[in-house]
């Protein structure tokens, strides 16, 4: 009786086509889920997704198109930013000299486009990534002023975040397609070409930008502290 009742259920249902084992094996090797665009997920989720894409190591390399190039000679024509700072590209020798005091990790971030792990970063002077101290953030390579604590905000990503640089002339933005299906905009120091991080269009007012920086590529100068010559505007 049970067989008689069940038999009609299969009537009219086409048999499932046979798939060779080799075909199934190929499908088993392709469980790839692309990362969603940054604007479609929350900031903490973005931090997790990017960290996952970076792997379990401390950094990932950003293979990007770079519009920065070192000066051929030390007497190259001088470039001055709108706010009065020298943004002339360093020569290769000057860049190496400016990076002489960096640790291997800091060099990996600033000079090899690495990325520090979220929630672990410290500036080259030891300031935590989430510090709320007042002051100026300058490049760890060459000292060009980049960001002010006045424009820093808590993005929840685990990286120092700012909604604008101190002067747009002090940074260079280039396309970074190193993560599949997630084209980003890389941010470089205009003077040294050091890799700083990335900028996203999910920041607060008034700019709507989130400059997501690596603390290891920055040096913090507390408010009221002496500013080194390389971090001062040029004399008129």
Check residues 235 and 193 and name the one with the higher pLDDT.
Answer: 193
Assess whether pLDDT exceeds 90 at residue 99.
yes
**94-224 in CATH: which number?**
2.170.150.20
For residue 200, give the H/E element and its range.
strand 195-200
Assess whether pLDDT exceeds 70 at residue 188.
yes
- Per-residue pLDDT reduced to its tens digit, 16-61: 444 444 443 333 333 333 334 333 334 444 444 444 333 323 334 4
Work out the average pLDDT over 157-184. Answer: 96
Given the residues 50, 124, 166, 212, select the one marked as catalytic.
212
Work out the average pLDDT over 76-88. Answer: 97
Residue ranges per domain, the chain? 94-224
Assess whether pLDDT exceeds 60 at residue 97.
yes
Peptide bond into 206 cis (omega under 30): yes
Residue 215 to residues 50, 110, 129, 157, 196: CA-CA distances in angstroms? Answer: 16, 10, 6, 13, 8
In the chain, % of residues over pLDDT 70: 72
Query: In a 10 Å sphere around its CB, with 0-12 CB exposed, 13-18 middle and 19+ buried, how is residue 20 labelled?
Result: exposed
* Phi (first) and psi of residue 218, to 5 degrees: -120, 160
- Per-residue pLDDT reduced to its tens digit, 114-135: 999 999 999 999 999 999 999 9
Q: Is 10 a catalytic residue?
A: no
Q: How confident is the model at residue 155 (pLDDT cuts 50, 70, 90)?
A: very high
pLDDT for position 24: 34
Contact 204, 189 (CB under 8 A): no
């Amino acid at each position: 009786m049970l067989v008689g009742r069940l038999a009609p259920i299969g009537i009219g249902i086409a048999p499932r086509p046979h798939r060779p084992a080799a075909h199934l094996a190929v499908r088993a090797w392709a469980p790839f889920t692309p990362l969603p665009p940054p604007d479609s997920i929350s900031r903490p989720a973005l931090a997790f997704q990017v960290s996952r894409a970076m792997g379990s190591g401390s950094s990932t390399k950003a293979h990007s198109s770079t519009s920065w190039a070192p000066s051929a000679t030390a007497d190259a024509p001088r470039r001055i930013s709108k706010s009065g700072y020298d943004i002339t590209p360093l020569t290769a020798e000057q860049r190496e000299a400016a990076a002489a005091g960096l640790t291997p990790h800091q060099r990996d971030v600033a000079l090899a486009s690495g990325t520090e792990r979220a929630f672990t970063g410290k500036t080259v002077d030891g300031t935590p990534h989430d510090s709320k101290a007042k002051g100026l953030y300058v490049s760890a390579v060459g000292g060009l002023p980049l960001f002010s604590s006045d424009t820093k905000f808590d993005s929840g990503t685990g990286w120092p975040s700012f909604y604008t640089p101190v002067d747009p002339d002090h940074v260079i933005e280039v396309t970074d397609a190193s993560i599949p299906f997630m084209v980003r905009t890389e941010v470089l120091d205009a003077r040294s070409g050091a890799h700083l991080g990335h900028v996203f269009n999910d920041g607060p007012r008034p700019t709507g930008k989130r400059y997501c920086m690596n603390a290891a590529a920055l040096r913090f100068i507390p408010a009221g502290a002496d500013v080194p010559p390389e971090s001062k505007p040029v004399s008129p």
